[in-house]
Structure 1
Amino acid sequence: MYKTTKAGFCIKKDFLSAQELLELNGEISSCDLLGSCELGEGENGEPCKGEGLGVIFKKDKLLEVYEKLPSLKPLLDKCLKEKCNIFYFCAIKLQDQGAIAPHFDDNLPKYCDEVHGSDRELPPKPYCTSLFYANVPKEIKGGALFFPSSTLNLTPASNLFVEFGDLEHSVSPIEAPKGSFRLSMALEQYKYLSTDLELFPDVLFIKG
């Protein structure tokens, strides 16, 4: 049986050093894995489009992730949960009018359904989701993080780390000058049984 205990909520400012943040922004924003993607529905029901990249990886293959994307090491080393054993990381560039409707993170269960069919039962939500705002230019307005189950909302800022268990969340519309973008990164952390881990690749880099 899977345990249902989830991680709590926390916010940390100045999560990385200035040099670590600079290297992370530079590598991810210019990475050849970045590609066009749909990020679910926006507030008006239309698809929210942006650029993104994804990585599925098991804990014992973390070094392979660092070989491809070395700037991730300071970030992941600080936020990976010891009890979790498989992860979905994504980086997202949002530009003007980008918004994401209320949703639960569930990228690994979705991947399993697409590859193996829906007859395999996995926990529908991660143990926790960690979110890091890598670059939020001051000229960008909006893009607040909302939690429908509470009155809490969070204004994004560069170098801000947030962890919120498995809560439903949404992103309000962004107003950005032409050429400006917001870069954020999400890490879904899962705790799966060994038999379920076999359903996933050790490491998979996903463009878009």
Structure 2
Amino acid sequence: MTVHLHEGDLPDGLDLGPVVAVDSETLGLRFRRDPLCVVQLSSGDGDAHVVRLNRPAYDCPNLKRLLADPAVLKLFHFGRFDIAMFLLHLGVETRPVYCTKIGSKLARTYTDRHGLKDVTRELAGVEISKAQQSSDWGATTLTQAQVDYAASDVLYLHAVKAKLDEMLAREGRTELAQACFDFLPVRARLDLEGWDEIDIFAHA
């Protein structure tokens, strides 16, 4: 495993292939209070690319181009938050997308444990640490522990997706899952527009 740390943007000419695992780190979980700080990516080859963004300019044309590229599937775990953050701070709508948390909830109905750590343990056979989750991602220099943590969030998503695809097909839920993935960027826009805590599909 090799982890590449980049300042500001992905390097020119980097090709991460047709399916790229993506995650982000922020200073907190409130959209307009907490900035987007780090974006990490992996092509599923065992390597990860960690980008420490240059705030507040967010001048990262290569990253923005990849997120908006219709030929590249972006693979998330709980993509709803990341997609909203990318729209808010980078000004790009991320499509097409696949969310392993949604896939897990549709396929793994025998459990209520759909966090990345639980899903990765069961489906990829890997134990990941969440110890750095609440660290200072806005720091001017990231620690090695932070970089390694960020990488771990994307390194195994391809393997998780492969297992979920099998389970979704087995249960006849592939088409339903795809419809949910297609709607996810719209759900992220609703979050940014103030419907983040409101279920617009509920009767009440």
Q: Decide: shared fold, TM above 0.5.
A: no
Q: Which has the higher strand share?
A: 1
- Return the TM-score normalized by structure 2: 0.28
- Return the TM-score normalized by structure 1: 0.28
Higher relative contact order (CA 8 A, sep 6+): 1
